[in-house]
Amino acid sequence: MIRISKMTDYAILVMGALAKRPEAILSAASLASTLRLSVPTVSKILKTLLLADLVKAMRGSEGGYCLSQPAASITIARVVAAMEGDLAVTECCESSRLCTIDSFCALKENWKKINKMLNVVLSKWTIQDMLKPL
């Protein structure tokens, strides 16, 4: 099964919560309360998102976090990459080339095409899109 991790799912929730209040600076504790997640989990996610330049941190007693850019310009692909690294549905799609049958695999090119299509889809969807019901 192809599935994003729970932490990545939560990261998209955190980004969505920040996107709903673009003018606000929200603490990890307030985000955790809103999303019904633990503060350590939200803090860990925010640290990763901060390192990926997807959120900005404000220090001080009124400090917290906000999106680093408009929600309409942050793609799901960027959040997935920040949390999990580049998307790779199989080992042959990874840049490390760890697959032992890579040199003679008949499926490798098809997997690469599938991987590219998934990346295209995730690159078209933004945090703003995720806030809208289908």
- Flag whether 1 is in a domain: no
- Flag whether 43 is in a domain: yes
What pLDDT digit, counting tens, does each position of 15-50 carry? 999 999 999 999 999 999 999 999 999 999 999 999
Residue 96 maps to which CATH number?
Answer: 1.10.10.10
- Flag whether 68 is in a domain: yes
**DSSP letter string, 1-68:** -----HHHHHHHHHHHHHHHSTT--B-HHHHHHHHT--HHHHHHHHHHHHHTTSEEEE-STT-EEEES
- Flag whether 79 is in a domain: yes
- Flag whether 32 is in a domain: yes
Measured CA to CA, the distance from residue 128 to residue 72 in angstroms comes to 5
- Flag whether 42 is in a domain: yes
Q: Give the confidence band of 1 by pLDDT, cuts at 50, 70, 90.
A: low
Domain that holds residue 33: 6-130
Q: Give the confidence band of 88 by pLDDT, cuts at 50, 70, 90.
A: confident
Its pTM stands at 0.88
Count of structural domains, the chain: 1
- Flag whether 89 is in a domain: yes
- Flag whether 123 is in a domain: yes
